Structure 1
Amino acid sequence: MPANTKGTMKILSIGKTLSHEDLAITSVSSSSLPEIHNIQTYDYVIINGGDGTIRRVLNQLHNLSRMPTFILNPTGSFNVVAKIHRAPKIGSVLDSLAKGERPKTQKHHLFKMNDELFLFSAGNMGDLQHIFLSETLRFGWLKHGIAKYILAVIFLFPVHVIMTPFMLMSSTRFFIFTPLRFIKKFGSFYGEVHEVDLDLDNDYNMIELDGDIVNVKGRHLRIRQAGNVRVVTKQ
C-alpha cells in the first residue's frame, strides 16, 4: 500500500456499505445524507444506485463550496449516466485509488428546472407516461431489472404512435434528452439546453426527471444549465 493512502484520502459511499483493506471508506444511507455536514472535505464520493439516485444525491450536493469527484457504482435498471461516462467497476476504481493512482474523469453537465436538478432527461410527454406505468409495474419479479420498462413500452406503443406528433407541436409539452444533443431542437423535443422558458396549463405538474417523477408547483418552468461535476470514467 502506498504510504499514508489510508490516512490521507477521504472517501464517502452513499447508499451501500463498501470497504477496502487499503482505504478508509465512510458509508452512509442516502436518507441520512442531510446529516453529513463535512462532505466538501471528502476527495471522492461513491454513489451507489441508478440515475434517479444520482440525481437525488447531486440535487443535495451540487452547491457545495468544494465539490468532490464522483464515482458511480451503477445498480439501477438503465444507468444512463454511468453508460455515458463508461463507469468502471467499483472494485477496479478502489484498487487504483489504493495504489495512489489518480483516476481519469470527465465533466458531467448539470441542468436545473426551477429548483430541481436533473442530469440528462426531463419532460411531460411520453417519457412521463412510460415512467409512471413502469413504476406501477415495480413489484414481484418485475421489481428489479428492465422487464417493467419493456412491458411499459409495449403497452404504451399505440398511444405514443398516435399522440407523439401532437405533443411535439404543443407549447405545453416538452421532452429534454441531452445524450441526443446533436438534434438540438425538434418541435418540443430538446437535445441541447442553454435556457428554456415554458408555460404550462396547470399550477401543479408532474414532470419526469432522470426517471423520477416529481410534482412541480407553478405553471412557469425555467430550464437552464447549472454547472458540472467530475465523474470517474475508464482509463
Structure 2
Amino acid sequence: MKILSIGKTLHYNGLDITSIDTSTLSEHHDIEQYDYVIINGGDGTIRRVLKQLHGLGTLPTFILNPTGSFNVVAKIHRAPKIGDVLEMLAGGESPKTQKHHLFKMNDELFLFSAGNMGDLQHIFLSETLRFGWLKHGILKYVLAVIFLFPVHLIMTPFMLMSKTRFFIFTPLRFIRKFGSFYGEVQEIDIDLDNDYNMIELDGDIVNVKGRHLKIQKAGNVRVVTRA
C-alpha cells in the first residue's frame, strides 16, 4: 500500500507514506500509483488539489486532514481523525468511504459552493481580515457576517431575483432552486454583465474571463468517512 500526503509531512509505523508540498504537486506525475492521498488543509486546498488531479484516468481514495477554518467537505463526510485512519490502514483494515460529487464552472472545479452574491462579499471581507490574531480560526468569518448583515438584509432579495447573480450550495440540495439560489446542480447556464468576474468557489475567490458560465457535474471522488 502506498500513501501520498499533500501539504504536511506524515509518518506512521508500518505505512509507506510519501510527503510533498502542495506547491510541488504539479511535478508529481505518478499519482495513480498511490492507494490513498491525504489532503492536509481546508476546503480551498482540497479544491485546488482536486483541480490539478481531475482528469487522471484513475484517482485514489482521498483522506481529509482538515486544518482550515470551516472544513465543510470534511464535515459533510464526517471525516475521522487522521491518526485513526492511519491506525486502521496500518492494521490492515479498509476505512469506509463515500462519494463526493464534483462540479465544473467553465474550466474551474468546485466541490460544494460557487457564487457571486453575498458569499463573494463575505469571503472577500473575511480574507481582508485575515491578519494578526484574526489570521487563524473562524472569528474573521463571524465578524464579516456581522459587518455585512445590513447589506445582505437589503440586497439579498434583489440578488435572488437577478439573472446575473447566483449562489450554489450543494449541502442544501433539498432546496433544488429558489430564485438564483441552487441547492442542486444539473446543468446551469448563466450570462453575466462583464467579461471579467470575481466568483467565490469553496471559499476561494477566482477571476473568471468571459460573460457566459456553464456549470455542470464533473464526476466524483471517494473520500474516507466514519459514517
- TM-score bin (small chain): over 0.9
Choose which of 160, 170, 173 in structure 2 pairs with 1:168: 160
1:21 offset after TM fit, Å? 1.2
**2:214 aligns to what SS in structure 1?**
strand
Give structure 1 regions of 4+ aligned residues with deviation exceeding 4 angstroms.
none
Deviation of residue 208 (structure 1)? 0.0
The residue number in structure 1 matching 2:45 is 53
> Is the partner of 2:147 in helix, strand or coil?
helix
Task: Give the counterpart letter for 1:114 in structure 2.
Answer: N
Counterpart pick for 1:211 among 176, 199, 203: 203
Displacement, 1:49?
0.3
Q: Determine the structure 2 residue equivalent to 1:39.
A: 31
Residues 1:233 and 2:225 are matched in the alignment:
yes
1:164 CA displacement: 0.1
Q: How far 1:66 sits from its partner (Å)?
A: 1.1
Aligned to 1:68: 60
- Residues 61-90 of structure 1, C-alpha deviations (whole Å, 9 max, x = no match): 121111100000000000000000000000
Alignment-mate amino acid for residue 95 of structure 1: E
Once residues 2 and 57 of structure 2 are traced to their aligned partners in structure 1, the CA distance between those partners, rounded to angstroms, is 17
* Percent sequence identity over aligned pairs: 84
Alignment partner of 1:223 out of 202, 209, 215: 215
Note if 1:107 corresponds to 2:99: yes
Q: Which residue of 2 aligns with 1:143?
A: 135
Q: What's the RMSD between the two structures over aligned residues?
A: 0.5
- Number of aligned residue pairs: 227
Answering whether residue 184 of structure 2 is matched by residue 192 of structure 1, we say yes
d(CA) in 2 for partners of 1:143 and 1:129? Answer: 18
Q: Which amino acid aligns with 1:122?
A: A
* SS of match in other structure, 2:194: coil
1:58 Cα offset (Å): 0.2
Which residue in 1 is equivalent to 2:175?
A: 183
Of 69, 74, 78, the residue aligned with 1:77 is 69
Instruction: Report whether the alignment pairs 1:90 with 2:97.
Output: no
TM-score after normalising by structure 1: 0.96
What is the TM-score with the length of structure 2 in the denominator?
0.99
| Structure 1: gaps of 5 or more residues | 1-8
Match of 2:112 in 1: 120
The one-character-per-residue Cα deviations of 1:158-188 (angstroms, maximum 9, x if unpaired) are 0000000000000000000000000000000
C-alpha deviation, 1:92, in angstroms: 0.4
- Partner Cα distance (1:131, 1:92) in 2: 32
Any idea what the Cα deviations from partners look like across 1:30-68, whole Å, max 9, x if unmatched?
000000000011000000000000000000012111110
TM alignment of 1:9-48, pairs within 5 A: 9-48=1-40
CA distance in 2, matches of 1:64, 1:90: 25
Unaligned runs of 5+ in 2: none
Matched residues in 1 for 2:189 and 2:169: separation?
Answer: 16
| 1:24 Cα deviation from its structure 2 partner | 1.1
